Amino acid sequence: MLISGRPESLSFNVINQISLRVDSLATLKAMHARVAQEKTSEIAPVTHGNSLSI
């Protein structure tokens, strides 16, 4: 957790995001592979048109 203060129950989905810049698509794919190996949930690659995210 980076910060605290979020209520335990909300009636809407809060988007948690940390934005980082990588040097290449290969680096982003490698990061996705590393994240996929961890016990994470709700990780979904997204194309935003002008950027990509995991």
**pLDDT, average across residues 5-9:** 73
| C-alpha to C-alpha distances, 35 to 8, 9, 22, 38, nearest whole angstrom | 25, 26, 15, 5
Amino acid 1: pLDDT: 58
Greater confidence, 7 or 36? 36
| Gyration radius from the chain CA atoms | 14
Q: Give the whole-angstrom CA distance, residue 30 versus residue 10.
A: 33
Q: Is the full-model pTM beyond 0.75?
A: no
What are the domain boundaries of the chain? Answer: 14-54
Residue 48: which pLDDT band, with cuts at 50, 70 and 90?
confident
What is the torsion angle, in degrees rounded to the nearest 10, for the CA atoms of residue 45, residue 24, residue 26 and residue 2?
-50
